[in-house]
Structure 1
């Protein structure tokens, strides 16, 4: 049990610099990108916002916890929940940045197919998730 605690503490210690970096980047983001710019990009259109959220999440790279923090900031800036959910799902499942390495290890055809399917499914999963939340409310 002590070794598990030690490993968890070590993992947390290694995550702190990443989290601090994200917080600093979000500060820069809020300074240079106003709420008006975000509102002009994410218009409230269900389809457009969901596609855009999936696209941005697909080309971004980082740990899943980073996507949750960024998603929270997007929600604070009145970005549609469909877009934020699509962003988080795509961030975690699609890996455009990692595609060359994945293709090298797992094969080009598999890597491309997996990323395309993950992108498409990120859209459907985000819509299904948010609609389920709406039904439960």
Structure 2
């Protein structure tokens, strides 16, 4: 198969996947919006908002433990920011959701080796905190 043919097949699969996942976006927004309406804002404000560094760490841990489609993390992060959670916390949650995979760690360790899997996840976690810090400061600067 030529490079052009592989590119065409890949593009076709990407478009099919996009349209397959598209109906999930309104469903996720609906469920999360209902959850934020049913739960008062006070628990989120009590849980977060004490210390930006601690909030980002908690967001990174929650994102590391979460499982699901990556685009759902963007929706959840956006809703959290809309409900008063700091952008650094939302960024830490989204980035760790996408890069740290504690739920898949046993599989990754078996497929890639223990040392590689643990090192990759630790570096991804530390990078998450750095990215959250940089994002928060960039947003303050802008």
Q: 1:20 to 1:108 in 2, by over 3 A?
A: farther
Alignment partner, residue 60 of structure 1:
66
Q: How does 1:1-137 map to 2 (within 5 A)?
A: 6-135=12-141, 137=142
The CA distance in 2 between the partners of 1:86 and 1:46, in whole Å, is 11
3-state DSSP of counterpart to 2:22: helix
Note the C-alpha offset of 1:19: 2.5
Seen in structure 2, the aligned counterparts of structure 1 residues 87 and 6 have a Cα distance that, compared at 3 Å, is same
TM-score, structure 2 normalization:
0.83
Q: Give me the whole-angstrom Cα distance separating, in 2, the residues matched to 1:16 and 1:48.
A: 34
Aligned residues: 136
Measure, in 1, the Cα distance between the counterparts of 2:97 and 2:9: 31
Alpha-carbon displacement from aligned partner over 1:17-72 (angstroms, at most 9, x marks no partner):
43344234314422443211111111241111111110111101222211110011
SS of the residue 1:43 aligns to: coil
Distance in 2 (CA, whole Å) between partners of 1:15 and 1:46 is 33
Question: Unaligned regions of 5+ residues in structure 1, if any?
Answer: none
Instruction: Decide which structure has the larger Cα Rg and report it.
Output: 2
In structure 2, how many angstroms separate the alpha carbons of the residues matched to 1:115 and 1:5?
A: 30
- Alpha-carbon distance in 1 for matches of 2:11, 2:99: 29
